[in-house]
Amino acid sequence: MTSEKDLKEDLKRVYLLSYAISQHEQKAKKITAKVFHNIIDEETPSPVAVYQHTIRLSVHHEMYRDNPSEPLWRLPWSYRAELVLRYNCGLSLEEIASVMKEPVVQMEGILIRAEEQLLEQLEGATVEEEMQRWDRYCDDKKVLELTKRFNKKVKGTGRRKNIYSAIGALIPLFVLVSQYFSEYHVEEEPIHEVIYEELLDEGYTDIQVGSNKEQKEVNIRVVGSTETYKRLHHQLKRTANKILDAESYDDYEVEVESVAVEFKVSGVND
């Protein structure tokens, strides 16, 4: 059975790939958790499918920056993906071609152009040194956070042991050029779950979030005192609206209401 140490390496590689493409740390964390959560029901998820799934989600959430702070972000997303797959994930050209669904000779040409363009952005450093620096964006602290997210996602599924055995194939990754891989289906996460996860990340805990597609409305309930509701009402609404805009749900309305709580500690009798 694959160890938790190997699992952490897998999480790190998926995160680095997602971060390089999406250019957004919080989104990269969520994408990493979603990728591994979505393979829970796969008895033998292929390594190629895992990376393909990561790329699709990351491109969907890609941010466009006018003045990218990272040299890597100044390259097209496909160049960024190939560089990370090659240098940070350790894939061969054949394996990258399987992930990108392109001929090996085309991947070889793109890799050369990607290296040349990245080198033009660097000041004295080599491509290898820059990609090693990029690898440090997922340090031990970040890996621990990703692992906690993963454990939270799979808690209660009874599939943790199978996941270890299945995704262990990522280390080392197989050469799967000759095999056919079916399209990996991914359901879009409900918008209220996206908002709820974002609000939790920002420190809001005593909240409930729901949505109504027909009425195009998101409802946030603040569990606590009237004072708590008054203090958080405008902050929650403003944050939720920003998330809706970022996720292209700008036609949705946000309603925030208070939910009174009689007992703050469950199980305590009068």
Which residue matches tokens 């070889």?
108
* pLDDT for residue 261: 53
Give dist(CA 103, CA 94) in Å, integer.
8
Express each pLDDT in 97-156 by its tens digit.
999 999 999 999 999 999 999 999 998 889 999 999 988 888 888 888 887 766 665 554
Angle, nearest 10°, between helix axes 4-22 and 25-38?
130
- At the top level of CATH, which class does the domain 191-259 belong to? alpha beta
Is residue 163 predicted with pLDDT exceeding 50?
no
Of all residues in the chain, the percent with pLDDT exceeding 90 is 33
Q: Per the structure block, which two tokens stand in for 107?
A: 């991947």
* pLDDT for residue 269: 45
What average pLDDT does range 195-212 have in this prediction?
83
Q: Per the structure block, which two tokens stand in for 71?
A: 């040299």
Of 238, 229, 231, 187, nearest in space to 208 by CA: 229
Give dist(CA 50, CA 35) in Å, integer.
7
Q: Which amino acid is at 128?
A: E
* pLDDT for residue 205: 78
Higher pLDDT, 114 or 29: 114
Q: Where are the domains of the chain?
A: 4-170, 191-259
Strand partners, 207: 222
Q: 3-state secondary structure string, the chain? A: CCCHHHHHHHHHHHHHHHHHHHCCHHHHHHHHHHHHHHCCCCCCCCHHHHHHHHHHHHHHCCCCCCCCCCHHHHCCHHHHHHHHHHHHCCCCHHHHHHHHCCCHHHHHHHHHHHHHHHHHHCCCCCHHHHHHHHHCCCCHHHHHHHHHHHHHHHCCCCCHHHHHHHHHHHCCCCCCCCCCCCCCCCCCCCHHHHHHHHHHHCCCCCEEEEEECCCCEEEEEEECCHHHHHHHHHHHHHHHHHHHHHCCCCCCEEEEEEECCCCCCCCCCC
Average pLDDT, the chain: 78
